[in-house]
Structure 1
Amino acid sequence: MSEMLYILQTVLLPIFIMILLGFIIQKKFSLDLNTLAKLNIYVFVPGFIFVKFYKTDFAISLLLYIVMFFIIYMIVLFMIGKGIAVFCKTDKGEATTLTNSLMFFNSGNYGVPVNDLVFKGDPLAMSVQVIVLSLQNIFTFSYGVFAIQSLHIGKLKALLGYFKMPVLYALLLAIVLNYANVPIPEFIWTPANYVADAMIAIALLMLGAQISNINFSFKWSKSYVYVFIRLIIGPFIALIIIKIMALDGIIAQTLFIASAMPTSVNSSVIAQEYDNHPELAAELVFLSTLLSAITVVIVIYLSRIWF
C-alpha cells in the first residue's frame, strides 16, 4: 500500500496538479482551445516526436514489435466495442464514438508524463512510449476521423484527411535522419528542443482546460461499461498480448502501463468537430481520466511485480 501511495504522490499527483491548473485557467480566462489544439497537433507533438526519435538509438526490430502489438491490441478493442454495440443495438454514430473511446487512449499529454516519471527519463522506455504516441496520433487522425466522416461524407473524402497530419512526417523524417546519422545544425536543434520540452506542460494544461468545458453527469449509463473496459479490461488484454509475444523488461512494462491510459481527449475533439455524439465523447473522457487516478496507480504497481 505504501508503494502505491508513493506512485500516486510522485507520478500521478504532479500530472493532476497541472490538469487542475489548466482547469482553473480555462474557467477564469476562457482560453481559445481551438488555437491550443492546433498548436499541439501541428507544432508541439510533431516537435516532441521528432526530437525523441532523432536522439534515441533503438533497433528497427523494436519498432516492428511495437507496431505488431499495437495492431493486435487495436483489433481486439475494436471487436469488443463493436460486439457490445451490436448486442445493445446501438446506432452507428453512437457506436463509433463508444468504440473510439476504447481504441484511442491518452498516450500523449497523460501517457508521456507518466512514462517520464515512472522510468525517470529512461531513453528506451521513452522510445517505446513515443512510438505508441505516434501510432495513436496517426491512428486517431486517420481511422478515427475516417470512421466518423465516412458516416457523413463518404469513405474516399474521409481517407484524404490522413495525409494532412504532420505527426507522420515528423516521425519518418526523424527515423531517416537518425539512421543516416545526419547532423542537425545547432540553430535548428535548439528551437526544436524548446518545442519538445514545452509539449508536456502545454498538453496537460490543455487537457485541464478541455475537461473544464465538459458538461458531465454521474448518472449510470453505458459509458461506465466502456470506461471499465478501457481502464480495467484493456490492460489485461495488453498483458495477454505481451505474454504471447514473449516481451519482457522495460518494453513490456511500458506497453502494459501505456495500455492503462484513459480515453484520449482527441476522441472528444473529433466527435465535437464532426458532430458525432460530442456530449457522450466528453463524458467518456472525463470519467476515464478521473477514475484513472486509481487504476493507473494499480497498473504501475503490477508492472513492477509482473515484469
Structure 2
Amino acid sequence: MNAFITIMLDIILPVFVLIGIGAALQRKFSLDLYTLAKINIYFLVPGIIFVKLYEAKLSWDVFQQVFIFFALFIVSLYVFSLLASLLFHYNKSMKVAFSNSVLFYNSGNYGVPVNDLVFRHDPFALSIQILILTFQNILTFSYGIFVLKAINGGKLKAALGYFKMPVLYAVLFGVGLNVTNIQLPAFIETPAQYSADAMIAIALLTLGAQMAQLRFSEHLFSVYASVFIRLVCGPVIAFSLVLLLHLDGVVAQALIISSAMPTSVNSSIIAQEYENEPAFATQAVIFSTLLSSVTVSATIYFVRILF
C-alpha cells in the first residue's frame, strides 16, 4: 500500500498539479486554446520526437518489438471497440467516435511525463515512449482524420492532409540523421533541444486548459464503456501481448505503462473540428483523465512487481 501511495504522490500528482495549473490559468485568463494546440502539434511534439529519435540508442530489434506490439495492441483495441459498438447498436458516426476514444490515448502530454518520472529520466525508456508517441500521432492524424472525413466523403483530401503534418517529417529527419550518424551543428541542435525540453510542462498546461473548457452532457453509459476499455482492458491486453512477444525488463514495463494512458485530447479536438459526436468525445477525455490517476498508479504498481 505504501508503494502505491508513493506512486500516486511522486509520479501522478506532479502530472495533475501541472494539469490543474493549466485549468486555473484557463479559467482566469481564457487562454487561446487554438494557439496552444497549434504550438503543441506543430512545434513541441515534432521537436521532442525529432530530438529523441535523433538521440535514441535503440537497436533495430527493439524498434521492431515496439512496432509489432503497437500494431497488435491497436488491432486488439479496435476489435474490442467494434464488439462494443455492435453490442450497443451504435450508428456510423458513434462507431467512429467510440473507436477513436479507445484507440487514441494520451501518449504525449501525459505519457511522456509519466514515463520520465517512472524511469527517472532514463533515455532508453523515454525513447520507447517516444516511439509510441510517434506511432500514435501517425495513427491519429492519418486514420483518425481519414475515418471522420470518410463519413461524409473527402477520403483523398483526408489522406493528403497528413503530409502537411510536421510530425511525419520530424520522424523522417530524426531517424535519418540517427542512422547516418550525422552530427547536427549547435545552431540547430540547441534550439531543437530547447523545444524538446519545453514539451512536458507546456503540454500538461495545455491539457489542463483544454479540460477546463470541456462540458458534460449525454452519452454517459457509452463514456463509461469507453473508459473501461481504455483504462482497464488496455493494460490487460498490453500485459498479454508482452507475454506473447516474450518481452521483459524496461521494454515490457514502458510498453504496459504507455498502454494505460487516458483518451487523447486530440480525439476530442478532431471530433469537434469535424462535428462527429463532440459531446461524447469530450466526456471520454474528462472521465478517462480523472480516473487515470488511480488506474495508471495501479498499472505502475503491478508492473514494478511483475517485471
Listed one character per residue, the Cα deviations across residues 84-103 of structure 1 (whole Å, up to 9, x for unaligned) are 11121101111111111110
Counterpart in 2 of 1:192?
Answer: 192
Residue pair 1:54, 1:174 contacting (<8 A) in 2 also: yes
CA distance in 2, matches of 1:250, 1:13: 23
Q: Structure 1 residue 246 and structure 2 residue 220: aligned?
A: no
Show the counterpart of 1:222: 222
Letter in 2 for 1:240: S
CA separation of 1:147/1:36 partners in 2, compared to 1, >3 Å: closer, same or farther? same
Aligned to 1:213: 213
Q: Is the 8 A contact 1:138 1:165 kept in 2?
A: no
Contact 2:78 2:103 in 1 (8 A): yes
Whether 2:174 is the aligned partner of 1:174: answer yes
Between the aligned partners of 2:227 and 2:190, the Cα distance in structure 1 is 40
Corresponding residue for residue 40 of structure 2: 40
Q: Deviations over 1:165-186 (max 9, x none)?
A: 1112111111111111111111
User: 173-182 or 135-144: which moved more?
Assistant: 173-182
* Offset, 1:30: 0.8
Q: Deviations over 1:187-213 (max 9, x none)?
A: 111111110000111100000000000
Alignment check: 8 A CA contact 2:218 2:280 kept = no
3-state SS, counterpart of residue 234 of structure 1 = helix
Aligned to 2:45, what secondary structure does the other structure show?
helix
Contact 2:44–2:196 (CA under 8 A) maintained in structure 1? yes
Does structure 2 retain, via aligned residues, the 8 Å contact 1:93–1:151? yes
User: Does 175-184 or 255-264 show the bigger shift?
Assistant: 175-184
Equivalent residue number for residue 152 of structure 1 = 152
**CA shift in 2, pair 1:173/1:220, >3 Å:** closer
Q: Which letter maps to 1:161?
A: G
> What is the rounded CA distance, in whole Å, between the counterparts of 1:32 and 1:153 in structure 2?
31
- Decide whether aligned partners of structure 1 residues 301 and 166 sit closer, same or farther in structure 2, where only a CA change above 3 A counts: same
**Structure 2: 5+ residue runs without aligned partners?**
none
The residue aligned with 2:16 is: 16
Separation of aligned partners in 2, 1:212 and 1:128: 30
Distance 2:220 2:55 in 1: 47
Q: Assess if the C-alpha contact under 8 Å between 1:146 and 1:161 holds in 2.
A: no
> Could you list the per-position Cα deviations for residues 215-271 of structure 1 after superposition, in whole angstroms to 9, with x for gaps in the alignment?
125994221011011000110001111100000000000000000000000000100
1:263–1:285 CA contact under 8 A, matched in 2: yes
Question: Cα–Cα, structure 1 residues 173 and 219, in superposed 2: closer, same or farther, change >3 Å?
Answer: closer
Q: CA deviation at 1:163?
A: 1.3
Deviation at 1:151, TM superposition (A): 0.4
- Deviation, structure 1 residue 16: 0.2
Give the Cα–Cα distance (whole angstroms) in 2 for the partners of residues 183 and 270 of structure 1.
37
1:104 is matched with: 104
Question: Is 1:133 matched up with 2:116?
Answer: no
User: What is the TM-score with the length of structure 2 in the denominator?
Assistant: 0.98
- Please give the alpha-carbon distance, in whole angstroms, between the structure 2 residues aligned to 1:160 and 1:218: 34
- Identity of counterpart residues, as a percentage? 51
Cα 1:171/1:219, change in 2 over 3 Å = closer
Residues 182, 11 of structure 1: alpha-carbon distance in 2 compared, 3 angstrom cutoff? same
Gaps spanning 5+ residues in structure 1: where? none
Q: Larger deviation: 147-156 or 211-220?
A: 211-220
Cα RMSD, aligned residues only: 1.1
Deviations 1:91-132 (A, max 9, x none): 111111111111000000000000000000111100100000
Q: 1:153 Cα shift?
A: 2.5
Task: Indicate the residue corresponding to 1:68 in structure 2.
Answer: 68
| Aligned-partner Cα distance in 1 for 2:73–2:161 | 24
Task: Look up the match of 2:266.
Answer: 266
Q: 1: CA distance between counterparts of 2:49 and 2:222?
A: 35
